[in-house]
Amino acid sequence: MSMIDKKQISERAAEVLRENDRGTYTVPTKGLYPFQWNWDSCLTALGLAQIDERRAWQEIETLFEHQWDDGMVPHIVFHQHDDGYFPGPDVWETNRPVPTSGITQPAVAGFAVKRLFDRARDVKLAREKASALLPKITKWHQWFYENRDPAKTGLVAIIHPWESGRDNSIDWDDAFERVPTEGVQAYQRRDLSHANPDHRPTQEQYDRYIWLVQKFRSLQWDNSKLHDASPFQVVDPGFNGILIRDCQETAELAEALGEDEVAALNRQWVANGLAALDTLWSEKYQQFVCYDRAAAKLVDSASIGGLLAVFANVSEAQAKTIADRINDLAGRAKFLVPSHDPIDPRFDGKRYWRGPAWLIVNYMIADGLIRADQTETANRIVSSSLDLILESGFAEYYDPIDGEPCGGSRFTWTAAMVLEFLREL
Ligand code: DGY
């Protein structure tokens, strides 16, 4: 890529971030997602830091201002009223001063904070901000292991597909069959007026999403009850890989700040998590797969969740095999990394997490591969990501076969990831 291209793309990416900035937080994109989303914000902070460091810290601080007393950090903060999104605060009914959703999302806050800290131009500011966030992030990790791993297996379960971020992945299909749809109150979806219905989850999936929300709401969002009460409990290697890496980064940050006890606590979760992750390795698919905890069986689905686990410190052999898998996928998809293997008849290149490529996931997989010395495959993912931007703009996700931009447009975290990719070049 020429210097001119690089400069132009950076400027366009910065423009997207500015457009979606609401002062103290950033919306993922206007219309479709008009509030603050948890992992969107943390990953966005990485891009923001290249423009305005103080604003980047503020993005994460704003999110943690809405952390629950039990330690959970909710997946949406409804900072202001907006009828254009469903389900809004009246459906969640979490009874918070500023309404939030009642479930969580992949934990990337520790990773983002460590990265901001390591790259800080204003070192004093970074120390101050990181020191204040450290106990909050650790409390969130603790919440995960206490509430989503009650049997102390080392791995946490998600209890709603929205928690994974991979809302309609093929991974959840079988487990979702156990989530009923009877008793779901009448509702009107809003996403379909902002995005092409063929790119979004189906109506049946939405009914089940809402059934789960109603179920948890009927238990007053008491996290000590939700895990066991949920018919949907899935252990996702991607979600756990991210959480393990987050604990690892938090441990390193704690050491740098002289907080040895906090470091030890986070290191213990890393050790337990990595040991348990091995149980999700699939010889058949040569990657990790999900475990359906409620049905006590591995899920027969080769999704990107099993590749994303390379973001954690998996073994050298596992990282090499995952790199091989990605190179193999490149033979079936022009753009990396498809969120599902195109060889699977259930693959759908345009429908959200059933096939499309996502730049945030590309970023995390590439980062993990670089740490595991699988640089060639990582570079392949980075150049595929930049090709998508050049051809199709800053979309929410892309068809990995023809590169069509899908979902929302002018998407914040896509822009942030582009700034990150260009920074590394
Ligand atoms: C949505 O509304 O599509 C979100 O993914 C839920 O967080």
> What pLDDT was estimated at residue 425?
76
Check residue 5 and give its pLDDT: 84
Ligand 1 touching residue 259 (CB < 6 A): no
Residue located nearest, by CA, to atom 6 of ligand 1: 162
For ligand 1, say whether the CB of 162 is within 6 Å of any of its atoms.
yes
Residue 235: how many other CB atoms lie within 10 Å? 25
- Give the mean pLDDT of the chain: 97
CB-count exposure of residue 308 (10 Å: 0-12, 13-18, 19+)? buried
Q: Is 404 helix (H, G, I), strand (E, B) or coil?
A: coil
Tokens (6 digits) for 350: 């345009």
Question: Which of ligand 1's atoms lies nearest the C-alpha of 85?
Answer: 2
CA–centroid distance for 178 within its chain? 24
Tokens of 262: 């906090």
- Rounded distance from Cα 327 to ligand 1 centre (Å): 30
In short, whether 396's Cβ falls inside 6 Å of ligand 1 is no
Cβ of 40 closer than 6 Å to ligand 1, yes or no, is no
Q: What does each C-alpha distance from 326 to 37, 123, 221, 364 come to in angstroms?
A: 29, 38, 39, 14
Task: Specify the pLDDT at position 420.
Answer: 98
The set of catalytic residues is: 167, 396
Query: What is the rounded radius of gyration, in angstroms, for the C-alpha atoms of the chain?
Result: 20
414 C-alpha vs ligand 1 centroid, how far in Å?
16
The span from the first CA to the last CA of the chain, in angstroms, equals: 9
Of 33, 172, 196, 413, which is best to mutate to test ligand 1, by the most ligand atoms within 8 angstroms of its C-beta? 33
Q: Structure tokens of 349?
A: 């290149």
Exposure class string for 168-195: b at 16+ Cβ within 10 A, else e: bbbbbebbbeebeeeebeeeeebbeebb
pLDDT per position as a tens digit, 58-85: 999 999 999 999 999 999 999 999 999 9
Cβ contacts of 177 within 8 Å, gap of 6 or more: none
* CA–CA distances in Å: residue 61 to residues 28, 77, 137, 145: 17, 13, 11, 23
Q: pLDDT band at 127, cuts 50/70/90?
A: very high
Which residue from 162, 187, 190 has its CB within 8 A of the most atoms of ligand 1, so it is best to mutate? 162
Residue 2 pLDDT > 90, yes or no? Answer: no
pLDDT per residue over 353-395, tens digit each?
A: 999 999 999 999 999 999 999 999 999 999 999 999 999 999 9
pLDDT at 232: 98
- Name which residue sits closest to atom 7 of ligand 1, judged by CA: 162
- Give the 3-state DSSP-derived string for the chain, with helices as H, strands as E and coil as C: CCHHHHHHHHHHHHHHHHHCECCCCECCECCCECCEEHHHHHHHHHHHHCCCHHHHHHHHHHHHCCCCCCCCCCCEECCCCCCCCCCCHHHHCCCCCCCECCCCCCCCHHHHHHHHHHHCCCHHHHHHHHHHHHHHHHHHHHHHHHHCCCCCCCCCCECCHHHHCCCCCHHHHHHHCCCCCCCCCCCCCCHHHCCCHHHCCCHHHHHHHHHHHHHHHHCCCCHHHHHHHCCCCEECHHHHHHHHHHHHHHHHHHHHCCCHHHHHHHHHHHHHHHHHHHHHEECCCCEECCEECCCCEECCCCECHHHHHHHCCCCHHHHHHHHHHHHHHCCCCCCCCECECCCCCCCCCCCCCCCCECHHHHHHHHHHHHHCCCHHHHHHHHHHHHHHHHHHCCCCEECCCCCCEECCCCCHHHHHHHHHHHHHC
Which CATH number is 3-424 given? Answer: 1.50.10.10
Closest ligand 1 atom to residue 33 Cα is: 2
201 CA distance to ligand 1 middle (Å): 10
Average pLDDT over residues 34-42: 98
Work out which ligand 1 atom sits closest to the CA atom of 37: 7
Question: Is the minimum distance from the CB of 167 to ligand 1 under 6 angstroms?
Answer: yes
Which residues on adjacent β-strands are paired with residue 100? 77
Taking the centre of ligand 1 as the mean of its atom positions, its distance from the CA of residue 5, in whole angstroms, is 33
Q: What is the pLDDT of residues 287-344, one digit of tens each?
A: 999 999 999 999 999 999 999 999 999 999 999 999 999 999 999 999 999 999 999 9
The residue-averaged pLDDT of 251-258 equals: 98
Average pLDDT (141-158) is: 98
- Strand pairing partners for 33? 29
Kindly indicate the confidence band of residue 122, based on its pLDDT and cuts at 50, 70 and 90.
very high
